[in-house]
Amino acid sequence: MAPGGQEEGRLPDVRLIASASQPLEPLVRERRFRKELFFRLNTITVSLPPLRERQDDIVPIANRFLSECNEKYHRNVTFSPSVYRELQRYGWPGNLRELRSYVERAVILADDSLPVFERTEERDCAEIGQCAPRRPHSDAPLADQMRAFEAGVIQEVVQSCGGNRTAAMKRLGLSRRTFYRKCAELGVLSCGEK
């Protein structure tokens, strides 16, 4: 590689880390993953069990996500002991992405006057520890499902702020312009700026 304006090139020092949600060896055998790419990537393999099999890691990981989300949204939310117990009992079929989403949602929805998040979420199963992976709620395209989710979050945050849109904007980390643009795009709250 040659930096801009220079003729002499140099070898970059690059390390590539790739991850997969499924074991690649069976996919190579079934010819659903390129063998050449697998051998190039497979210098060192680190197998990490799913989150449900690493119960002791859940609280430290959740705390890291909580710290990141508190910084991102300028909040100071903490979890109650009952929330930590739920985090450890739940099966986390969505793994780290689901845990991160849970924590981010908790930070966004936490009441400003009570920074300790105590509400546990209702799950789609009878027993928290026995959950099956969640199914999509509809056959709609992903973009439509994302719009519906985003609209729901905005409505829920505005409601939790007692209808105070300025407080909702702050909690969501959105500028006034972005908040009203999203409301208009999503058709929520009759948010047209007055």
Query: What band does 125 get if pLDDT is binned at 50, 70 and 90?
Result: very low
Domain-ending residue, one of 89, 106, 135: 135
- Mind listing the pLDDT tens digit for each residue in 10-55? 888 888 888 887 889 999 999 999 999 999 988 888 888 888 889 8
Is 7 within a domain? no
Q: Count CA atoms within 13 Å of residue 150 on its CB side.
A: 16
- Cα–Cα dist 133/91, whole Å: 9
- Provide mean pLDDT across the span 88-95: 88
Query: What band does 156 get if pLDDT is binned at 50, 70 and 90?
Result: confident
Closest listed residue to residue 57, CA positions, set 13, 87, 22, 93: 87
- Cα–Cα dist 104/62, whole Å: 10
Is 86 within a domain? yes
Is 150 within a domain? yes
Question: Is residue 5's pLDDT more than 80?
Answer: no
Structure tokens at 139: 């056959």
Do residues 186 and 159 share a domain? yes
Is 5 within a domain? no
> Do the Cβ atoms of 191 and 184 come closer than 8 Å?
yes
Question: Is residue 139's pLDDT more than 60?
Answer: yes
- Provide mean pLDDT across the span 106-133: 56
Is 160 within a domain? yes
Q: Which of 41-50, 104-113, 120-129 has the lowest mean pLDDT?
A: 120-129
Predicted pLDDT of residue 124: 46
Is 8 within a domain? no
Domain-ending residue, one of 110, 135, 160: 135
Domain-ending residue, one of 135, 156, 177: 135
Tell me the pLDDT of the chain averaged across its residues.
81
- Cα–Cα dist 106/120, whole Å: 9
- Cα–Cα dist 193/183, whole Å: 10
Total domains present in the chain: 3
Do residues 126 and 164 share a domain? no
Do residues 124 and 56 share a domain? yes
Do residues 62 and 121 share a domain? yes
- For residue 22, the enclosing domain spans 15-47
Q: The domain that contains 96 carries what CATH number?
A: 1.10.8.60
